Amino acid sequence: MAFTLRSILRGAYGKSRRNAARPKKGATHPNKFLTDGPLSQLDHQYRKPKLDKNNQPILSSAPKSFLQTIFNNQLARTERFECQFNFPHAVRTSFHNSRIAENATIMCEEVQIPGMAMANKEYNVGPWTHYRNTNLQFLGQEINFTFYTDTNWELRELFENWFAMTVDPTSKQSYWPNDTWGTISINAMDLQDNYRRSWVLHEVTPKVLNLQPMSMGSVGVVRTTLIVSATYWDSNYIEVDMGAPEGKVKGVNKNETKGAGEGTG
Q: What is the pLDDT of residues 152-205, one digit of tens each?
A: 999 999 999 999 999 999 999 999 999 999 999 999 999 999 999 999 999 999
- Which CATH number applies to 81-249: 2.30.110, 2.40.128, 1.20.120, 1.25.40? 2.30.110
* Per-residue confidence (pLDDT) for residue 52, from 0 to 100: 82
Domain boundaries, the chain: 30-73, 81-249
CA proximity to 143, closest of 226, 74, 213: 226
* Per-residue confidence (pLDDT) for residue 36, from 0 to 100: 65
Residues of the chain with pLDDT under 50: 26, 251-265
This prediction's pTM: 0.73
Whole-number Å distance between alpha carbons of 34 and 174: 55
Whole-number Å distance between alpha carbons of 123 and 227: 37
